[in-house]
Structure 1
């Protein structure tokens, strides 16, 4: 699926307890959903990703991304809705987000800017049991920056699909960024990033602040 085939981009905030706590946020009692425009998607395929360099810190957040291949219906086996997965970055203008949160305003300016959703290659979804037994890692300039286990999600894949499907609708071509583990930090010009799933690099890029 290319960027122009993606329909809706749903993102889940604070879906790992330690990430919520590291930013001083409350741990949510139900999924916290926001969206990004499709223009946020860029490949994470060894390319350079240009990001705003004059709007404060840009933070990386590595996440499991689910691709929907069958529309959600009530009482459907949610496993049937997923036809692939990837690792992607939910990039965040953290200083901008902090100002928006203080004013009670939407996060779009902090989360939806062009290039804010680098996306690695799609690969087969292994099923819920195998997913919970795997780990994903973000390497930042050759050093481990984040390590996540889907078993630590506050709301698992099935719960996310049901929640998004019931509240907003979920159809073919939609994708879900499922939340990031702890360890987020600011990016700098020239940084190198690698997304690793079960020991295999499935996405990489370098950063250019402009």
Structure 2
């Protein structure tokens, strides 16, 4: 078989303790999934979950102990950080029950959902899709994936982000409005999940702007931390 253009290389993420890599299929993101973040965005309560997607080329895969560079994206003057626990799907399925969700998880990682907030807000005002605010290249940095058996109690782990060594976000995964298992149940009712899917589970309060030169260091207790510099 020949192609009229060169097919893109497979996007992948390192896996802790092995030379193998996790190939990325789709990136699902859960919106407003911590109550305090929902409040700072102007919403309250346990609303039905909603999701958006990022393309595979949004991934910036960072090796353990390394720091990657993320270019400041075009068109925006208000680039926000959103630290998140990421779930890596190892076994696909549709209509997965929350009680069975754990059997579909390969592992966990620390991720950032970088957001062109000014563009997102403008699209919201116009009632238009806000892909331009979320689904751009290199908007989803991620650290190495820790297999589930080695990850500890991620559902009660601390999650944090520091910018230039100063706290910006700090909370606990237990404060998710929709748990990891519930998110998988809802997602798999709408899409058939596939091995290689990543789920960015939502961000706690404290989102704010970053500028060129800033260093972002984020973590979830029990997982490899993530470090990037905005260039």
Q: Normalized against structure 2, the TM-score is what?
A: 0.83
The residue aligned with 2:82 is 61
Which residue among 43, 52, 61 is the counterpart of 1:25?
A: 43
TM-superposed CA distance for 1:180, in Å, is 0.1
Q: Is the 1:48–1:206 contact (alpha carbons within 8 Å) kept by the matching residues of 2?
A: yes
Equivalents in 2 of 1:162, 1:90: separation in Å? 22
Q: Are positions 1:91 and 2:114 aligned together?
A: yes
Cα distance, 1:152 vs. partner?
0.6
From the CA coordinates, give the structure whose radius of gyration is larger. Answer: 2
Gaps of 5+ in 1: none
Q: Deviations over 1:117-144 (max 9, x none)?
A: 0111111335999223211111110011
For residue 9 of structure 1, report the CA deviation from its aligned partner: 0.6
Relative to structure 1, is the Cα distance of residues 142 and 74 closer, same or farther in structure 2, using a 3 angstrom cutoff? same
Task: Answer yes or no: is the 8 Å Cα contact 1:94–1:110 preserved in 2.
Answer: yes
Deviation at 1:52, TM superposition (A): 1.5
Q: Which residue of 2 aligns with 1:38?
A: 56
Q: Which of 21, 24, 29 is 1:11 aligned to?
A: 29
For the pair 1:164 / 2:187, whether they are aligned, the reply is: yes
Q: What is the aligned counterpart of 2:159 among 130, 136, 143?
A: 136
Kindly report structure 1 stretches of 4+ aligned residues shifted beyond 6 Å. none
> Structure 1 stretch 150-159 or stretch 73-82: which is displaced more?
73-82
Q: Flag structure 2 segments of 5+ consecutive residues without an equivalent.
A: 1-10, 14-21
Please, which moves more after superposition, 141-150 or 11-20?
A: 141-150
Equivalent residue of 1:51, what SS? coil
- Matched with 1:47 is 68
- In structure 2, what is the Cα distance between the partners aligned to 1:50 and 1:125? 31
Q: Judge which range, 101-110 or 20-29, deviates more.
A: 20-29
8 Å CA contact 2:146, 2:224 repeated in 1 = no
Alignment length (residue pairs): 208
Deviation digits for residues 54-106 of structure 1 (CA, Å, limit 9, x no counterpart): 42200000000000000124455110110111010000000001100011111
Work out the CA distance in 1 between the residues paired with 2:74 and 2:190: 36
Cα RMSD for the two superposed structures: 2.2
* Kept after mapping to 1: 8 A contact 2:110/2:224: no
2:80 touches 2:115 (CA, 8 Å); kept in 1? yes
